[in-house]
Structure 1
Amino acid sequence: MSLIEDLKWRGIIYQQTDEEGISEALSKEMVSLYCGIDPTGDSMHIGHLLPFLTLRRFQQAGHRPIILVGGATGLIGDPSGKKEERQLQTIEQVQDNVQSLQKQLAKIFDFDGDSGAVMVNNFDWAGKMDLVTFLRDYGKHIGVNYMLAKDTISSRLDTGISFTEFTYTILQAIDFYHLYENHNCKIQLGGSDQWGNITTGLELIRKMSAEGSKAYGLTIPLVTKSDGTKFGKTESGAVWLDRDKTSPYEFYQFWINTSDADVIKYLKYFTFLSKEEIEALEQSFEAEPHLRAAQKALAEEMTRLIHGEEALQQAIKITQALFSGEVKELSAEEIAQGFKDVPSFSVEGTEELRLVELLVDAKIVSSKRQAREDVQNGAVYINGDRVTESNYTLSDADRIEGQFTIIRRGKKKYFLIKY
């Protein structure tokens, strides 16, 4: 199966400017192709992943990926999908974001060998460009009517669009032209919302490059959930690639909680498992859905890819401990990950704590009478161990690495005591 056939089987291809031309180019030689992202924040979230994972598939097939982080275009703001002007960031903010995103993207690609990835920042060429050069050398080739026909621009005409954002599509077109001329880049890959910007780049290449030049565009579909809710969002917000914003355990949990209706699609989209491996998981899933083998495979593949094997094993350990109740086996770091969103109560000092009083002070129960009843009835656990003595006093031995005590009331209600 060819690369394009594999991408079609996975449902990844949305639009191609010239399907025959792309297939022919890929079959003849190693092709350089690029995908870009603007550094509007200091971390990517999983909604950004699919274009870059698709770019990685091209690298696995022997082609060279160019990863562009838009230090220049990030200063302007893509009007795509926005109803109002973006808040402009300082150059310092944007360049800090560039470095953060480059580190995250570097984990996905291989930078060695003939098809080693190339990382670029469009501030290196666009940031040095003066206004007259922009207008004479590039603006002259892109007509206003042509730009007004773009959905990203026409959709903003009623609410208003600044000249700054109006020219964004030309800046991105300059990127494609620059990479075409300096890196022999033949294909731009992006999300479906980037179609207008990609075709503007092709228009600029057609008008400024030698006759007979060939360049192409390819877009991937918007990732959706079967229930209509937005992909990549949880109750606590976006699922980030930065482990300080979304811990590896939370990242793992997002994927393992994928619905039955979406899991096979996401295995095709996001993992590098083969067609045979995914079809085997699909058969297992259909025969024994309660085992959730497909979800486990998805969570493991994605967590390993973004955070590494050690973080994956840590996430699995936390998951198993919470399921079994054997939480005393967890380290303080693992507790901080696994219990990030549970109710917590901070205790100052090192004095011993009476359990009944702590249950009331931490608002785990409403009264001392209720606390004593819960303890005597065996409904209270400290670090996974049931405590039935109403006069129990917590000691240093109950403090995991001197930082945490985990109290469970009933089967699933966890509370975190912090020291």
Structure 2
Amino acid sequence: MTKHMLEAGKPATPLKSETLQVLLERGLVNQASDLEALDARLAEGPVTVYAGFDATAASLHVGHLMPLMTLRWMQKLGHRPIAVLGGGTTQVGDPSFRNEARPLLDELKIASNVSGIRRCIERLVSMDGDDGALLVDNAEWLTEFRFLEFLRDYGSQFTVNRMVTFESVKSRLDTQSPLTVLEFCYMMLQAVDFLELSRRYNCEMQIGGSDQWGNIVNGIELGRKADGRKLHGLTVPLLTTASGAKMGKTAAGAVWLHPEHLSPFVFWQFWRNTADADVGRFLRLFTELPMNEVERLSALEGHELNDAKKVLATQVTAIVHGPEEARKALEQGEALFGGAEELLEPTHVLPRIRLSEGLGLLELLVLVGFAGSNGEARRLVEGGGVRLNRQVVDDARRQITAGNLQADDRLALAVGKRRKALVGFD
């Protein structure tokens, strides 16, 4: 199968479908299995399209916004999205671009993770109406297979010769890293997902990250061999910053989409702190602003670029957490960075008993997400970058007590100029 890459975000010939035009304009297309055929099919009318999300954590993270925004745009343009929750495939573990096997999770943990991921997805795509998005769990069909039945029905449709050429396998073999039979079979399971979805829901298209290319191709080929179906695949780019670094992590870890794992304000602040060089691209990728407004905001310079960052942060937060949470986050940000903490609700709330039990400054930095470990927090303090109630603190052994609270029983904590928190105690 030919892999169609796009040079400078433009296809070789003019596109017929509005859908591909929009996705390309927003920067959401990296590869397509057959760009001309996909364009022609999308121009004919609505398609059902899916993206899969394995339940390896209790929340999706900001990297998942790429396929989710693609599903969201396609739904707005008349297509029907399916989000597949990987209750079945998570039991195996995707080896793509990993040097070692993923830790295997038990069924209870997977079920709990599926529940959290469902909450993330329901905000981003609409479930309403006859053509609303579907959420399905691939455990529905994968756990029904018997081993010999699976091998007889599908094993003959795959060749080892072909499977070892895919990057997820080839990279392991090239580095002589162990690759279990369990992981090797993952691409077969994902291919069966595509076939099952095409049979059950007439799904014709799969979306995935660039690391899923081999898995997507296997599904397309299985649909052709088993049922004579014409299926399509599209990958989104790897999410990186302008510097080339992989995006989506802070010192404290992943930028989660679930509010119980990362508060809407901290999520907003992450986007508000976007590097200048990334603002324009992120406005295209992660907001639904008209392109003329995106271009206007992208052209801002100097201090005015901060206004574009606030728009970016508020727009993305509204999509992920809802307009009301976005409004509150913007108000918190304006007050906190404007020095009007007294107007704010706390960005973080801790049990008041912590003040009497013993709460160190290093632990506090970790709890609010400014550091991923006590060691990282220590380096911040010793580097002179930490302020408590607007005063620089350079003692890493500093303990937080009730006497440190401001008149409103809160603490103002900051690292540098771009990360601030207001900590309350109840």
1:327 equivalent among 323, 341, 365:
341
- What are the Cα deviations for residues 86-136 of structure 1, in whole angstroms up to 9, with x where unaligned? 111101111111111011101111112343111110000001111011100
Alpha carbons 2:314, 2:329 under 8 Å: kept: no
Cα distance in 2 between the residues matched to 1:56 and 1:174: 24
Cα distance in 2 between the residues matched to 1:138 and 1:105: 31
**What is the CA-CA distance between 1:330 and the residue it aligns to?**
2.3
Partner of 1:180 in structure 2?
198
- Answer yes or no: is 1:203 the counterpart of 2:221: yes
- What are the Cα deviations for residues 158-199 of structure 1, in whole angstroms up to 9, with x where unaligned? 212110000000000000000111111111111110000000
Cα 1:323–1:214 change in 2 (3 A) is same
Alpha carbons 1:407, 1:417 under 8 Å: kept: no
2:332 equivalent among 318, 321, 345:
318
2:348 equivalent among 336, 348, 361:
336
Q: How does 1:378-417 map to 2 (within 5 A)?
A: 400=408, 404-406=409-411
2:47 equivalent among 19, 23, 31:
31
Larger Rg: 1
Alpha carbons 1:59, 1:115 under 8 Å: kept: no
Alpha carbons 2:279, 2:309 under 8 Å: kept: yes
CA RMSD of aligned residues (A): 3.0
Alpha carbons 2:310, 2:330 under 8 Å: kept: no
Partner of 2:167 in structure 1?
151
Cα 1:145–1:408 change in 2 (3 A) is closer
Partner of 2:107 in structure 1?
91
Partner of 1:168 in structure 2?
186
Cα 1:315–1:48 change in 2 (3 A) is same
Cα 1:95–1:418 change in 2 (3 A) is closer
Cα distance in 2 between the residues matched to 1:407 and 1:306: 27
Cα distance in 1 between the residues matched to 2:223 and 2:163: 16
Q: What residue ranges of structure 1 are gaps of 5+ in the alignment?
A: 350-361, 363-378, 383-393
Partner of 1:247 in structure 2?
263
Cα distance in 2 between the residues matched to 1:277 and 1:57: 17
**What is the CA-CA distance between 1:291 and the residue it aligns to?**
4.5
Identity, in percent, stands at: 38
- Answer yes or no: is 1:48 the counterpart of 2:93: no
Partner of 1:359 in structure 2?
none
Partner of 1:295 in structure 2?
309
Cα distance in 2 between the residues matched to 1:107 and 1:200: 30
Cα distance in 2 between the residues matched to 1:414 and 1:54: 33
Alpha carbons 1:31, 1:64 under 8 Å: kept: yes
Partner of 2:318 in structure 1?
304
Alpha carbons 2:265, 2:347 under 8 Å: kept: no
Cα 1:226–1:291 change in 2 (3 A) is closer
Alpha carbons 1:345, 1:416 under 8 Å: kept: no
Give the structure-2-normalised TM-score.
Answer: 0.79
**What is the CA-CA distance between 1:280 and the residue it aligns to?**
2.2
Cα distance in 2 between the residues matched to 1:18 and 1:3: 15
Cα distance in 2 between the residues matched to 1:19 and 1:94: 36
Cα 1:166–1:290 change in 2 (3 A) is same
Q: What residue ranges of structure 2 are gaps of 5+ in the alignment?
A: 1-16, 358-363, 365-386, 391-401
Any idea what SS the aligned residue of 1:219 has?
A: strand
Partner of 1:9 in structure 2?
25
Cα distance in 2 between the residues matched to 1:192 and 1:415: 39
Alpha carbons 1:399, 1:405 under 8 Å: kept: yes
Partner of 2:247 in structure 1?
231
**What is the CA-CA distance between 1:415 and the residue it aligns to?**
8.6
Cα distance in 1 between the residues matched to 2:170 and 2:323: 46
Partner of 1:388 in structure 2?
none
Any idea what SS the aligned residue of 2:275 has?
A: coil
Any idea what SS the aligned residue of 1:261 has?
A: helix
Cα distance in 2 between the residues matched to 1:192 and 1:163: 23
Partner of 1:371 in structure 2?
none
1:215 equivalent among 195, 219, 231:
231
Cα 1:99–1:289 change in 2 (3 A) is same
Cα distance in 2 between the residues matched to 1:25 and 1:380: 59
- What are the Cα deviations for residues 315-370 of structure 1, in whole angstroms up to 9, with x where unaligned? 12222222232222223xx2426x99xxx995449xxxxxxxxxxxx9xxxxxxxx
Cα distance in 2 between the residues matched to 1:264 and 1:33: 28
Any idea what SS the aligned residue of 1:161 has?
A: coil
Q: How does 1:47-126 map to 2 (within 5 A)?
A: 47-126=63-142
2:208 equivalent among 181, 186, 190:
190
Cα distance in 2 between the residues matched to 1:249 and 1:182: 40
